[in-house]
Structure 1
Amino acid sequence: MDTPVLFIATVLIWGTTWIAIAAQVGDVQVAVSVFYRFALAGVLMLAGLALIGRLERPRIWRFVVVQALCLFCLNFIGLYAATATVPSGLVSVVFSLASIFNALNARLFFKDPLERRTLVAGALGFCGLALLFWQDLAVSLDPATLRGIGFAVLGTAIFSLGNMASRKNSALGITPVTANAWGMGIAALVLLCLLVATGQPFAVPRAGTYWVALVYLAVIGSILGFTAYLLLVARIGSARAGYATVLFPIVALALSTVFEGYQWSLTAVLGVVLAAIGNIVMFKPRRPEQPPYQACSAITDRKAGP
């Protein structure tokens, strides 16, 4: 699958999962819903790969476990804990820093160069979402709000570490499909242990919309969404792939405009423009470097001109 198709698919898939998440809000605890989501996704992936004879056992497990904890477990706990105390728009603004976290972690763990374009694009995307969710930023800095912001930063940082683990798995020859299948299963087991340890009840909702939403989140949001995203990480690097976190809240608001009557303000429009400019900066093709003799020739030609 072409890289642009993977990027667009990631943005569109993760931009629509909020509809399914909203349909699950009610009698079931958030952590229990997350457990149901990744338990179903893990079972489907492992069983599906086994049926077609493509289920592989990773040679090295430690980075698969790290990916499981950071992408399918602890990051969700942090982000959902943040959403419980601060507006979801503010959480989206913080989460948009994933591309910056990815760039810094790639420098730390893989010695990747810290490109100026990545930092500029990330800053533009962050400012764009800040304008887009301007109303959500008007919060009082009380202890609960600061705690929520801290959880959002922690969840984003953990998500970025999961990106690094995925890169390491790819370098070891473990495909994103294999790492995701085992990772989601491992994450579900960890979540199950946490839920049992904290005594949270496992509610069984009766509403059909809940189960439809669960299937959508497991199959589309998790299996397809995370696989597309981690294939992007393997192809274009974690920093550039992380820019998807800037764009999917925009897709969510576009859908909210159609289905919920969201009213766009001037600051929101300006925010989308900034995010789009950041996207251009991030993905604009680099100019091919000229060989030294061509560069000298070009300088000589300019000097000889009128």
Structure 2
Amino acid sequence: MSLILYFLLVFVWGLSWIAIKWQQGDVALEVSIFYRFFIAAVIMLVMGKFMNKLQHTSGQDHVWFALQGASLFCFNFIAFYVATSYIPSGLVALLMATAPLFNSIHGRLFFGAPITFNFVLGMLFGLVGIGFLFANELSTLQLSLNTLYGVLYSLVGTWCFSIGNMLSVKNTNKGIRPFTATSYAMIYGCVCLLSIIFFKQLNFNFELTTLYIGSLLYLSIPASVLGFTAFLVLVNRIGASNAAYILVCTPVIALTMSSIFEGYVWTFSAGVGLVLICLGNVVSRMHEDMFNLAIRLFKWRPVRLTDQ
């Protein structure tokens, strides 16, 4: 079941990059993000009510839900949207692929989770593969203040995303199921977005176009309702670091969509990158006993980074 959710999320979130691009226009980014998660929150609350999926929660639980909503459904998306105004969206995707590293560090700091050698090795394969995929974009990127802003916003967004993952783990450790936590967190994310919208005095305008409405519905339902619920289930099943490796794989789908809709041309380096990403995915998710057996065959000494 976890494997099915894993590859389903790679596909669903891979498509969301082109949908996010189609959201950019006359509607302020904070307003578009609010529309997305308001629709998603309403759907999840209705589902939770009629399917009896919402657990009883305490006031203290809602404090953690609010923090999760602010980090996972507000500030991280604002940072990513702003980043795409400074640097190419492909580079934003590349920088977001560092989420497993953030999760590994945060997991070690907050929960004492071990960092295994095979995960780090697989992550390195994946990041190098992403570098090959975006070799052309990186080679033509000019270093400037705007570039530095774009990189900074991307890393801030990824950090917020990782903090949201840690808060999800904490909620689950308290016995709260991902559906309940996600439903309430989305509500608090919308409240946070509303505060920003009113503070900046933004207009609640709307684009009555097929492209904007279609991309909004896709981002609200498959990418948010199904995507985030499934992702947080995976966080609890296979760990935050392994689950976040999805973000290293999604650029493959994103580039495929880009080749269809934006004229992206596949190159030899992009093909090498795809192979490295697949290899990294296998190594990263390999059971530790299997990995240790494999490296013994090559007479390597298995290590745990946390044991050093």
Query: TM-score scaled by structure 2?
Result: 0.89
2:259/2:265 contact within 8 Å kept? yes
Larger Rg: 1
User: Is the 1:98–1:242 contact (alpha carbons within 8 Å) kept by the matching residues of 2?
Assistant: yes
Deviation at 1:210, TM superposition (A): 1.7
Within-5 A mapping of 1:151-162? 151-162=153-164
**Residues 177-224 of structure 1: per-residue CA shift (max 9 Å, x gap):** 111111111101110110110111111222133222211111101010
Corresponding position of 1:239 = 241
RMSD, aligned CA = 1.7
Deviation at 1:250, TM superposition (A): 0.3
List aligned pairs for 1:4-153, cutoff 5 A. 4-59=3-58, 60-138=61-139, 139-153=141-155
Equivalent residues of 1:9, 1:228 under 8 A apart: no
AA matched with 1:198: K
Contact 1:71/1:158, CA 8 A, preserved across alignment: yes
The answer as to whether partners of 1:121 and 1:279 remain within 8 angstroms in 2 is yes
Q: Is 1:223 aligned to 2:225, yes or no? A: yes
Name the CA distance, whole Å, in 1 between partners of 2:24 and 2:203: 15
For 2:291 and 2:242, the matched residues in 1 are separated by: 21
Q: For residue 258 of structure 1, report the CA deviation from its aligned partner.
A: 4.1
| 8 A contact 2:126–2:276 mirrored in 1 | yes
Same amino acid, percent of matched pairs? 38
How many residue pairs get aligned? The number is 289
Unaligned runs of 5+ in 1: 291-306
1:12 Cα deviation after fit: 0.8
> Amino acid of the residue matched to residue 3 of structure 2?
P
Q: How far 1:288 sits from its partner (Å)?
A: 6.7
Query: TM-score, normalized by length of structure 1?
Result: 0.90
Measured in 1, the distance between the counterparts of 2:250 and 2:12 equals 8
In structure 2, what is the equivalent of residue 299 of structure 1?
none
Post-superposition shift, 1:53?
2.8
> What are the residue-to-residue correspondences of 1:157-196 with 2, within 5 Å?
157-196=159-198
CA contact (8 A) 1:41 1:219 kept: yes
Shift of 1:289: 11
1:278 corresponds to which letter in structure 2?
Answer: G
